[in-house]
Amino acid sequence: MVEIWGRRNSSNVMSVMWTVGELGLEYRRHNVGGTFGGNDDPAFRALNPNGLVPALDDGGKVLWESNSIVRYLAQTYGAGTLWPGDPYPRAVADQWMDWAKTTFYPTFIPVFWGLIRTPPEAQDHEAIEQAARASGSVLAVPEERLSAEPWLGGSEFTMGDIPLGALIHRYFTLPIERPALPGLEAWYERLRERPAYRKHAMISYGSSIVDWIRLEAEGADVQ
């Protein structure tokens, strides 16, 4: 059984939980972060000295950083499926995992925080709109890929789809203007057909910081 520390409505924790779900692993998840706190508890800092979620313990093997955890779980328990067997397809999957973190996430997180995790009176709508435009612009890159292939890694679903997929539900359900992205939209619909995605990535976040806090405390049921 693997143990995961982190609130399940953290996008980074979602990536790990979705991976666990795809692999059918038994797990125990501990609520840490957000309204649950615990980031600075000595026991948690012993797992992750950064005080951030997620953290993983697999029989005494401890890891932090969500992409590293996803890669470890995919290689250990999903070789040949989530973890491509050939080096080149595996590198392509790695490429998209890193792209989601380094390129899309920085443009999109101001949108989500601005609309959902900021009180209405403090929201900077010009900044939110600018970030939404930036997010739509960078998504032209996976749009080109997904117009030619069903998955970011190619013909099969792999770990390469997970980091961006964990964020894309929010992108498509927030009240923002989006460019036409038919390839990406079709990919999102394919993700929505996966039970593990519905359970672990399609997390309700509400429409305000009040809803966010309430849903987090309730366990954030599937939307």
**118-141 as b/e, with b when 16 or more CB fall inside 10 Å?**
beeeeeeeeebeebbebbbebbee
pLDDT at residue 219 in the model: 64
Q: Retrieve residue 130's tokens.
A: 């600018």
- The fraction of the chain above a pLDDT of 90, given in percent, is 89
Residue in this structure with the two tokens 């666990």, named with its chain if needed: 20
Arithmetic mean of pLDDT over the chain:
94
Over 50: is that where the pLDDT of 2 sits?
Answer: yes
What span, in angstroms and rounded, lies between the C-alpha atoms of 155 and 34? 37
Q: Cα separations (Å) of 41 from 12, 38, 65?
A: 20, 5, 18
Question: Is the separation of the CB atoms in 152 and 96 below 8 Å?
Answer: yes
Q: Cα separations (Å) of 113 from 9, 35, 56, 75?
A: 13, 15, 26, 33
Residue 216's pLDDT band, with cuts at 50, 70 and 90, is confident
What span, in angstroms and rounded, lies between the C-alpha atoms of 134 and 176? 12
Residues 143-185: tens digit of each pLDDT: 999 999 999 999 999 999 999 999 999 999 999 999 999 999 9
